[in-house]
Amino acid sequence: MFLEIRDLHVKYGNVEALHGVNVTVNQGEIVTILGANGAGKSTTLMAVSGLVKPSQGGIWFEGEPLHKLPSHEVVKRGITQSPEGRRVFGTLTVQENMNLGAFTRKDQAGIRRNLDWIYSLFPRLAERREQLAGTLSGGEQQMLAIGRALMGDPRILLLDEPSLGLAPILVRSIFETVRKINQAGVTVVLVEQNARAALKLATRGYVLEVGNIVMEDTAASLLANPEVQNAYLGGAGA
């Protein structure tokens, strides 16, 4: 199994946020995790990244227990995250943000190839490479957050709410780029409130409600499911 989340429990103090989550991700897939605010979607990604530790269960990547590693070692294994809210370094330039994404790497030629590829995916970033990240638009900052995560040369890219706060035309553009990233060989785990866009992009999906997986299926089946339509897609046939 490529990535396996097994019986994952995560607590914040005395409050349990995840109650035994099970998710599998095969190499080459786009897997989306859907759910309302507070369902535990971001917590799931942060556990994979090593930013929060399980109280029970764990996460395995190609058979290795990720939950025993510090977060920078998870990045070295080829798992990087574009966080919710973008969190770019506003007082640094676009290029400096990109350089930080490659902090675990030593292969300069590979870093250069990565950078050229990312700037081809996001030409706007190439135009603004000397601009301070804090002066970019929301859409440009989202591009930068994804580009910075790609600088780690990931085998798995974790995307947390990439469409948040963006105009619909930008959402389409970001999701089309995610498709290209996947076609280039990067496996994607996508946490997203825009369920329709996520399911149109994904191979498979999971629905998370209050820390529990309540549904899993192919993306096409979830898109056609009346319960999913009513809860996340604005009603039947919407």
Residue 90 has what pLDDT? 82
Distance of CA 53 to the CA centre of its chain: 18
Q: What are the backbone angles phi and psi of residue 134, rounded to the nearest 5°? A: -65, -15
* pLDDT 10s digits, 134-180: 899 888 999 999 999 999 999 999 999 998 888 888 888 999 999 99
Residue 170 has what pLDDT? 87
Could you tell me the pTM of the whole model? 0.91
| Res 20 pLDDT > 50 | yes
Residue 234 has what pLDDT? 66
Q: What is the mean pLDDT of the chain?
A: 91
- Gap between the Cα atoms of 46 and 51, Å rounded: 5
Spell out the CATH class of 1-78+156-161+188-238: alpha beta
* pLDDT 10s digits, 30-43: 999 999 888 999 99
Exposure letters 153-183 (e unless 16+ CB within 10 A, then b)? bbbbbbbbbbbeebeeebbebbbebbeebbe
Read off the DSSP letter of residue 139. Answer: H
Residue 236 has what pLDDT? 45
User: Over pLDDT 90: what percentage of the chain?
Assistant: 74
Of the listed ranges 100-104, 197-201, 203-207, the least confidently predicted one is 100-104
